[in-house]
Amino acid sequence: MRLKIIGAAGEVTGSSYLLECGASRVLVDCGIFQGKDDERKNREMFPFSSVSLNAVLLTHAHMDHSGRIPLLVKEGFKGKVWATLPTLELVKVLWYDSAHLMKEEADWLTKKNSRKGLAPVEPIYTRDDVDDAIKMLSAASYDDKLPVAPGISVRFRDAGHILGSAILEVWLEEEGKQVKVVFSGDLGPQQTVMERNPAIITSADYVIMESTYGDRLHKTNAESRDEFRDVLTTALKDKAKVLIPSFVVDRAQRILYELALLKDEGILAGNVPIFFDSPMGVKATEIYKKHMNLLSSEIQQYVSQGKDPFAPGKLKYVSSVEESQAINDVGNAVVVAGSGMANGGRIVHHLKHGIWNPKNHVVFVGYQAQGTLGRRIVEGEKNLRIAGEDVSVKANIHTINGFSAHADRDDLLAWAGNFSTAPLFLITHGEPKSSLAFSETLASAGMKGVVPVAGQEIELEPNGAGKAVHIAEQPVVLKREEVSTLLAEILLLASGLQNRSVPVQEDGILSLLKSSKVLLETANEKMNERLRAE
């Protein structure tokens, strides 16, 4: 019995784990990578044969858990993809949207390539691949034990993260030996607002545990609501625009609910339009409305008062691109749009047209991965290139992490503390700093935690006594066109800097340039060594 860590090790995105038991092979999650280097990583071959898998178990719909399943099917996977019913409905929406974006991206790159005489670029997967993947989806109900392959069974438990999200309890049995592995998936906080609280699980040999906020505490819900109320109050007084980049599944519905509460309080005046600029988000909201029975008692209470939690004040659903662009001319409005990390989607053009205005407000309400536009704004960069234009950041930037659908450090610790069988915790789905900090937190609470790396294989034994086998990483082959594109970009940057007529103010620019030179010299030496070796 073995567990192989495929993704989300030392990073938040790209969740994927392979379980092997006898001749059975089951994959848990198959997510896309987002942020730094994502295009290359998403195109990489799977480190296993897709055809050989018996089944895929999907914790929840978010793309960093589900997004590469259509690629798996494209590469020959023929088994079932098990997930809860709301997850199945949500992934259909997300996958078609993703295939659409991949096509746009590939068309754009193809155009760019053809000018350089390079080959066209194929999208990672297409609508047809999504059609095929959807045929593999099978509904698993919460709390029932389900056999998914010889020797492997699973039970989906509520994770309290987004609608349909699940913790997986997986039992493996081979030659009379039994091992239980629990996958936390993405865990909701201990005190949820939108979903039910995460299920308490008390027994496991191994727990694969997320650590997105393993080194941080969120503000309380009440504090976050106060922060949000303050931003909205100021913005409305100044007749400003409030831009809210938001994941369109769950976070957007939460924001709509928070806006509805402000409306109830009389803070959101009736004449200020709220634009929900995401056709995909609108579809997701419909799915949420269909499964109100799976949401929290707070939401259900709100509904029982005859109110719609996702329809605040003057809410406008925006569908066409023209309608979306027309929002640029509206000065006083609230705009909720994807993507949550501003690395794509309609929020990008709203930021381009609004972030330069000191009157406006940008409110980040979720995790921002390294390398994304959202992360750069949150980290205080003042000059950015957004959708092909240089824009200076003058708007008021806020981060409200208390609306997160993720557990914080104390929530994670509380959930881990429910296990009474002293399992080995494998800490994943976090930046290294966060995962390491959380494994130390576990250790100081008397629990055993390790932070695995991608590619690592663990021989599973009862009581978490497995040996970790380190598998050497595959050598990465340099792609010629990748190198030449990079060099062209560097040259362009360098000549741009040289042509800048304004006097350079020394705020670290010189040392940045010097280190770039050292890096290039090192690359040059390495390239020479390689040439000599060949």
Q: CA 165, CA 281: separation in Å to the nearest integer?
A: 17
Please report the DSSP string for 168-199 in residue order. EEEEEEETTEEEEEEE--SPPPSS-SSBPPPP
Which residue's CB is nearer to Zn ion, number 327 or number 454? Answer: 454
- Please identify, among the stretches 55-63, 272-280, 296-304, 474-482, the one whose residues bind Zn ion according to the rule CB under 5 A: 55-63
Which residue's CB is nearer to Zn ion, number 64 or number 97? Answer: 64
- Please identify, among the stretches 54-62, 278-286, 483-491, 496-504, the one whose residues bind Zn ion according to the rule CB under 5 A: 54-62
Which residue's CB is nearer to Zn ion, number 207 or number 460? Answer: 207
Environment class of 448 (CB within 10 Å of its CB; exposed 0-12, middle 13-18, buried 19+): middle
171-207 burial: b if 16+ Cβ within 10 Å, else e: bbbbeeeebbbbbbbbbbbbebbbbbbbbebeebbbb
Which residue's CB is nearer to Zn ion, number 64 or number 408? Answer: 64
The DSSP 8-state label assigned to residue 338 in this structure reads S
Q: Are the C-beta atoms of residues 169 and 95 closer than 8 Å to each other?
A: no
Environment class of 218 (CB within 10 Å of its CB; exposed 0-12, middle 13-18, buried 19+): buried
Among 29, 64, 215, 457, binds Zn ion (CB under 5 A): 64
Q: CA 338, CA 248: separation in Å to the nearest integer?
A: 6
**What is the nearest approach in angstroms of Zn ion to the Cβ of residue 18?**
18
| Length of the chain as a residue count | 534
Site string for Zn ion, 182-221 (x = CB under 5 A): ----x-----------------------------------
Which residue's CB is nearer to Zn ion, number 62 or number 180? Answer: 62
Is residue 62 part of the contact set for Zn ion (CB under 5 A)?
A: yes
- Please identify, among the stretches 63-71, 73-81, 111-119, 395-403, the one whose residues bind Zn ion according to the rule CB under 5 A: 63-71
Q: Hey, which bits of 357-485 come out as E strands?
A: 361-364, 383-386, 389-392, 396-399, 424-428, 448-450, 457-459, 468-469
Helix (H), strand (E) counts: the chain = 16, 23
**What is the nearest approach in angstroms of Zn ion to the Cβ of residue 161?**
6
**What is the nearest approach in angstroms of Zn ion to the Cβ of residue 212?**
7
Helix (H, G, I), strand (E, B) or coil at 42: helix
- Please identify, among the stretches 59-67, 87-95, 130-138, 255-263, the one whose residues bind Zn ion according to the rule CB under 5 A: 59-67
**What is the nearest approach in angstroms of Zn ion to the Cβ of residue 225?**
22
Is residue 457 part of the contact set for Zn ion (CB under 5 A)?
A: no
Q: CA 139, CA 299: separation in Å to the nearest integer?
A: 24
Q: Are the C-beta atoms of residues 159 and 57 closer than 8 Å to each other?
A: no
**What is the nearest approach in angstroms of Zn ion to the Cβ of residue 176?**
35
Identify residue 131 by its one-letter amino acid code.
D
- Binding residues for Zn ion, rule CB under 5 A, total 3
The first and second tokens of residue 127, run together, are 């609508």
Which residue's CB is nearer to Zn ion, number 158 or number 186? Answer: 186
Which residue's CB is nearer to Zn ion, number 396 or number 428? Answer: 428
Which residue's CB is nearer to Zn ion, number 423 or number 430? Answer: 430
**What is the nearest approach in angstroms of Zn ion to the Cβ of residue 326?**
32
* CA angle, 478 then 484 then 489, to 5°: 125
**What is the nearest approach in angstroms of Zn ion to the Cβ of residue 381?**
25
Site string for Zn ion, 170-189 (x = CB under 5 A): ----------------x---
- Please identify, among the stretches 61-69, 103-111, 306-314, 471-479, the one whose residues bind Zn ion according to the rule CB under 5 A: 61-69
Interface with Zn ion (CB under 5 A): 62, 64, 186
